[in-house]
């Protein structure tokens, strides 16, 4: 399985988050203390939290990350046609 970098600012991957969850990280706040994920620009916060929650819930973290990627790169809207 490919590794996805969740937090670019602190170079934290989905595997880092999964490992922390497996090793007993009890909350997202604790995850932030350990890995600093989401503590700089904050852009990764939702993805990091979803990945952490999915891992703690026993669901594949890759599924959460894949959903996040799909949302980030989905077309926002069709371009408006120029008025003639
Ligand atoms: S991308 Fe994670 S804090 Fe900026």
Q: Judge whether 52 and 23 are in contact, CB under 8 Å.
A: no
pLDDT in tens, 23-62: 999 999 999 999 999 999 999 999 999 999 999 986 544 5
Q: 5 in ligand 1 pocket by Cβ < 6 Å? A: no
Which CA distances in Å does 70 have to 2, 21, 33, 40?
15, 24, 28, 23
pLDDT in tens, 10-20: 999 999 999 99
What pLDDT shows up at residue 57? 84
Give me ligand 1 centre to Cα 77, in Å: 26
What pLDDT shows up at residue 83? 53
Reply yes or no on whether the pLDDT at 79 is more than 60.
Answer: no
Q: Which of 42, 47, 72 to mutate to test the pocket of ligand 1 (most atoms within 8 A of CB)?
A: 42
């Amino acid at each position: 399985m490919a590794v996805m970098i969740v937090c670019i600012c602190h170079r934290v991957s989905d595997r880092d988050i999964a490992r922390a969850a497996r090793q007993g990280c009890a909350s997202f706040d604790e995850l932030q203390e350990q890995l600093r994920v989401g503590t700089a620009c904050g852009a990764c916060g939702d993805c990091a939290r979803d990945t952490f929650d999915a891992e703690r819930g026993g669901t594949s973290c890759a599924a959460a990350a894949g959903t996040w990627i799909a949302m980030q790169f989905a077309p926002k809207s069709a371009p408006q046609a120029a008025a003639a």
